[in-house]
């Protein structure tokens, strides 16, 4: 049974594309066949994050216009052959395709892949409506900021009105130390406001910036940073595994104390 999931947030810059790339890669590592669809027409980024920019020949637009075959436009990741990318056109804008096109595209893709992950553009206009057209499920990405959470709430409402009822939340860029000092909204605060299911919590991590610039998703690192582990766990939860949330406060301790905690099984 194939799953088509749109990754969306309303607000820009909260980490939709980073989440799509890492989640897609993590699912591929778990042995699932995954295709990432960049629905951010005119502002494509997903190929950059995956380091696949120079391999994009055709985009979704050529597929829709029947100028190429679908498998010609799919860029297979050499590091992880389970992962493919369907890039968005760089030169056109969001009016280049319609919701019906997108729906048909996702439908065809879901026949060949276990997961179709659609990276949605920011905002709630045409681009958003196109991106959600083919999806059966949604992942909302938010950061612990009041504006991001408010926009997330708006987007959840719009998704529900468009018959997408299976909606899960990823809280991105959480800083446990700030939460502890009551300087940042906690995950509980966010869940209280949004009242939807939590899929994962990703801590703020400098490695994310490094990996973004290198074009190599975090979860491909040999020694996984904390955020990478969090993404892997999130992917496993999406697969239905019962993985507890990371103890993010552990990261503040030394490596030795973390090891000790791990060995003694105490958190």
Partner 1 sequence: MPELDADLSTATADEAETVAAKEHDSVTQQVRFKTINRQLHLLLPPERDIVSEDGETAPALLWSDLLQQLQQRLTGTERFWEAQTPVYLQTSDRLIDVPQFVELGEALQEYNLKLKQVITYRRQTALNAVTAGLSVEQAVAKEPLKITTNVGVPSEDPLYLKMTVRAGMEIRHAGSVIIFGDVHAGAEIIADGDILVWGKLRGLAHAGARGNRLAVVMALSLYPTQLRIAEAIAMVDPPKTSFCPEVAFIDTNLLNLDGESGISIVKAVDYSKQFA
The 84-123 site mask, x for binding partner 1 (CB under 8 A), equals ----------------------------------------
Among the listed residues 43, 48, 108, 158, the single contact to partner 1 using CB under 8 A? 158
Closer to partner 1 by CB, 80 or 143: give it.
Answer: 143
Spatial distance between the Cα atoms of 245 and 236, rounded to a whole number of angstroms: 11
Q: Is 48 in the site for partner 1 (CB under 8 A)?
A: no
Closer to partner 1 by CB, 193 or 229: give it.
Answer: 193
Q: Is 66 in the site for partner 1 (CB under 8 A)?
A: no
> Shortest gap between Cβ of 194 and partner 1 (angstroms)?
8
The token duo for 119 is: 């990276």
Closer to partner 1 by CB, 57 or 100: give it.
Answer: 100
Closer to partner 1 by CB, 195 or 267: give it.
Answer: 195
Spatial distance between the Cα atoms of 56 and 52, rounded to a whole number of angstroms: 7
DSSP code of 144?
Answer: S
- Give the contacts of 167 (CB within 8 A, at least 6 positions apart): 137, 138, 139, 140, 156, 159, 160, 196, 197
Among the listed residues 114, 119, 151, 232, the single contact to partner 1 using CB under 8 A? 151
- Beta strand 83-86 pairing with 34-38: parallel
Of 157, 164, 156, 153, residue with least CA distance to 189: 153
- Residue 85 pairs in a beta bridge with 36, 75
φ and ψ at residue 241, rounded to 5 degrees: -80, 150
> Shortest gap between Cβ of 156 and partner 1 (angstroms)?
6
Element (H, E) at 170: strand 166-174
Among the listed residues 156, 187, 190, 220, the single contact to partner 1 using CB under 8 A? 156
Q: Is 195 in the site for partner 1 (CB under 8 A)?
A: yes
Spatial distance between the Cα atoms of 230 and 225, rounded to a whole number of angstroms: 9
Positions touching partner 1 (CB under 8 A) are 129, 150-151, 153-154, 156-158, 160-163, 193, 195
């Amino acid at each position: 049974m194939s799953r088509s999931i749109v990754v969306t947030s309303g607000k820009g810059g909260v980490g939709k594309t980073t989440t799509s790339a890492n989640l897609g890669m993590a699912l591929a590592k778990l042995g699932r066949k995954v295709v990432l669809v960049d629905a951010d027409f005119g502002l494509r980024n997903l190929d950059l994050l995956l380091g696949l920019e120079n391999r994009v020949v055709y985009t979704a637009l050529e597929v829709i216009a029947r100028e190429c075959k679908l498998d010609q436009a799919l860029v297979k990741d050499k590091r992880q052959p389970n992962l493919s990318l369907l890039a968005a056109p760089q030169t056109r804008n969001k009016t280049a395709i319609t919701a019906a096109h997108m729906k048909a595209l996702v439908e065809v893709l879901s026949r060949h892949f276990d997961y179709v992950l659609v990276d949605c553009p920011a905002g709630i206009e045409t681009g958003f409506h196109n991106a959600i057209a083919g999806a059966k499920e949604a992942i909302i990405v938010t950061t612990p900021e009041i504006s991001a959470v408010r926009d997330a709430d708006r987007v959840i409402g719009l998704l529900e009105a468009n018959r997408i009822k299976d909606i899960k939340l990823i809280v991105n860029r959480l800083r446990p130390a700030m939460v502890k000092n009551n300087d940042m909204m906690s995950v509980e605060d966010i869940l209280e406001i949004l009242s939807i299911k939590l899929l994962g919590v990703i801590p703020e991590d400098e490695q994310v910036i490094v990996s973004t610039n290198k074009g190599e998703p975090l979860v491909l690192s040999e020694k996984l940073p904390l955020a990478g582990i969090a993404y892997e766990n999130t992917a496993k939860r999406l697969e239905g595994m019962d993985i507890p949330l990371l103890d993010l406060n552990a990261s503040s301790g030394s490596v030795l104390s973390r090891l000790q905690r791990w060995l003694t099984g105490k958190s």
